[in-house]
Amino acid sequence: MDALITLLPGDGIGPEVAQSGKNVLARIGQQFGHNFTFSEQYIGGSAIDHCNDPLPSNTISSCKESDAVILGAVGGPKWDNPNAKIRPEQGLLGLRAVLKVFANIRPVQIIPSLSNASPLKEELLKDIDLLVIRELTGGIYFGKKERTKESASDLCIYQKYEIERIIRIAANLAKARKNKLCSVDKANVLETSRLWRDVTTNLLANEFPNTNVEHLLVDAAAMYLISRPADFDVIVTENMFGDILTDEASMLAGSMGMLPSASIGDEKVGLYEPIHGSAPDIAGKGIANPCGMIGSIALLLRHSLNLEEEAKLVEDAIYNTIENGARTADLTKKQNKALSTVEMTQKIIDNLEF
């Protein structure tokens, strides 16, 4: 297979983990005879520095021409001035919008030997296998923003079709699993959530009558993610709730650094990024955990290139590497035994069992 991949390293630890992802993909390509071509482009803070634009037009055109996009992370203290008109995050949000990737898939799986890296008791972590589907191109992130000296507002708006299409994706993904869908909203307070709940209830009754559905308020969902995480199968929710709940859910897996994500829509190009941020505190030290990025490569192989065997190999390699005891600094108390990003990546590549 020939595939063109746009690589957007971004800021902070982004370039370090993006290199890991690229190396894993290149190794898979070499073994299976796939021809992966990479086009590296600027996004976020590094794009502001080089082009005075967090999402330069060259980046947009390269992404649109590609089969898939890999993104490291954006943001950092250098561009954090609260009064700045342009911010790195605008690059990422703009890219999600232009690629129309409205469905963000964030799987949370627990590798058994990491249970001591999680702040939760081991017995709570057994049998966790959940998938969070976060609506990614609507809601408060994209509504009109206003600011005066004395007040500020962010409009949260959802259209019926935006809710229907994300619920369909979530229900179809649930069907291939335990067929249990939990829709999270704040319908006791927010009008957008009342629309969300109505549309969800109707659509599921009409199109997915056999799906086991639960509606939870976001505050309760946040609690149950800690008190009974193994009860969840697929969680679907709006943009901001999904952002918050997936950071929370990452603690079940032991570290933010473990979680991958795939963002897809109705068009060809998918966007693949770990859920973690640019981690400025450890940037440049070469100690970032590459697992979230490499897991995102597995999702890219599966969702954008339809290469299930290759995807599974990458996931198994991550699993086996961790089970064999390899740890980056975020996963262990024994800091003197922690592996660097490059060493961890190499171990995962060595564990690809062709």
Residue 144 annotated as catalytic: no
Contact residue for ligand IPM among 40, 53, 89, 129 (CB under 6 A): 89
Site map 40..79 versus ligand IPM, x via CB under 6 A: ----------------------------------xx----
In whole angstroms, give the CA distance from residue 220 to residue 317. Answer: 35
Question: Which of ligand IPM, Mg ion, none does 75 bind, CB closer than 5 to 8 A by kind?
Answer: ligand IPM
Q: Which is nearer to Mg ion, 233 or 273 (CB)?
A: 273
Question: Which of Mg ion, ligand IPM, none does 182 bind, CB closer than 5 to 8 A by kind?
Answer: none
Binding residues among 247-276 for ligand IPM as defined by CB under 6 A: 275
Instruction: Quickly list H helices, 132-175.
Output: 160-175
Residue 219 annotated as catalytic: yes
Quick check: 92 binds ligand IPM (CB under 6 A)?
Answer: yes
Site map 275..294 versus ligand IPM, x via CB under 6 A: x-x-----------------
Count how many Cα atoms sit within 13 Å of the Cα of residue 275 in the half-sphere of its side chain. Answer: 29
Contact residue for ligand IPM among 185, 238, 243, 310 (CB under 6 A): 243
Catalytic one of 22, 42, 67, 141: 141
Residue 281 annotated as catalytic: no
Phi and psi of 94, rounded to 5°? -65, -40
Query: Contact, 298 vs 348, CB < 8 A?
Result: no
* Helix%, strand%, coil% for the chain, nearest 5: 50, 20, 35
Task: Using alpha carbons, list the distances in angstroms from residue 342 to 21, 28, 102.
Answer: 11, 17, 32
Question: Which of ligand IPM, Mg ion, none does 187 bind, CB closer than 5 to 8 A by kind?
Answer: none
Catalytic one of 49, 80, 198, 219: 219
Query: Contact, 108 vs 123, CB < 8 A?
Result: no
- Which residues are CB-contacts of 284 (< 8 A; sequence separation ≥ 6)? 16
Query: Which residue minimizes CB distance to ligand IPM?
Result: 89
Q: Which is nearer to ligand IPM, 124 or 240 (CB)?
A: 240
Positions that interact with Mg ion (CB under 5 A): 243
Count how many Cα atoms sit within 13 Å of the Cα of residue 160 in the half-sphere of its side chain. Answer: 5
Closest C-alpha among 325, 323, 322 to residue 294: 322
State the catalytic residues: 141, 186, 219, 243, 247
Task: Write out the residues near ligand IPM by the rule CB under 6 A.
Answer: 74-75, 89, 92, 243, 275, 277
